[in-house]
Amino acid sequence: MKPFSLLIIDDEPQMRKLIRTFLERDGYEVHEATDGIDALAKVESLQPHLCIVDVMMPYMDGFAFAKEMMKRSAKIPLIFLSAKGEEWDKIEGLKLGGDDYIVKPFMPGELMARVEAVLRRSYQEANTTQLLKVGPLVIDHIAHTAKVDGVSLSLTLKEFGILETLAKNEGRVYSREQLLTIVWGEQHQSTDRTVDTHIKTLRLKMGDSGSLIETVWGIGYKFEVK
């Protein structure tokens, strides 16, 4: 499957470089723009799946860029970045079509988890009409069922969420925090140990195929068919 294309819009080269490094590590296709005017041209040509937009920029700031996007009826998900954490700014960003608002400074892992969550919310409907088949595993998103070698698995909601997330991104490594944010939600209060427990149970239910869920030591988990 072609990777998601993301556009970073920020006038600070070091910030763009930092964000780009972590996005590309997670397998995304990444492009850059230095301000809102530059970004509008690149949105037209690149048609990115998501824009990560700094609020404070010269020439055309992030909010002005979002307003122009609304005029053009360009329905591309937006994540705002800002050093300003006032409630008014967050509300303004969301009113302008923003899907999330992150205050600087932030941890790279937080941004990656937010990016994953926004993409999942925005594009999951496009993937709900087909069966997902990876090796011996078949997942039906609409029916909320999973089978291994034709045998149905009795999974909890969270187990299904973990398995679907890993399987539809075969080979990609997810940290425990990313899985918590995607499956439990952004406001979760669970710990890394919760993910480990669910993975252990999931592997048991999958029998011999449980080995398809691999532990990547020091990072997290991935699903891979050899």
pLDDT value of position 126: 52
Q: How many CA atoms lie within 13 A of 197 on its CB side?
A: 8
pLDDT value of position 1: 45
pLDDT value of position 187: 67
The answer, yes or no, to whether the previous bond of 105 is cis (omega within 30 of 0) is yes
Q: What is the 3-state secondary structure (H, E, C) of 150-216?
A: CEECCCCHHHHHHHHHHHCCCCCCEEHHHHHHHHHCCCCCCCHHHHHHHHHHHHHHHHHHHHHEEEE
Distance CA 71, CA 60 (A): 15
What is the distance of C-alpha 109 from the center of its chain?
Answer: 11
Query: 36-45, 107-116, 141-150, 199-208: lowest mean pLDDT where?
Result: 141-150
pLDDT digits (tens, 9 = 90+) for 102-117: 988 888 888 988 998 8
In which band, very low, low, confident or very high, does the pLDDT at 2 lie, cut at 50, 70 and 90?
Answer: low
Distance CA 51, CA 115 (A): 10
pLDDT value of position 130: 63
9 or 1, higher pLDDT: 9
* CA 19 vs CA 158, 184, 215, 218: distances in Å: 29, 24, 25, 21
- In what side-by-side order are the strands of the sheet with 213-216? 174-175, 220-223, 213-216
pTM exceeding 0.75? no
- Identity of the amino acid at 45: S
* CA 107 vs CA 6, 129, 195, 199: distances in Å: 19, 35, 20, 25
Distance CA 12, CA 104 (A): 13
Provide the token pair at 125: 């409907």
In which band, very low, low, confident or very high, does the pLDDT at 57 lie, cut at 50, 70 and 90?
Answer: very high
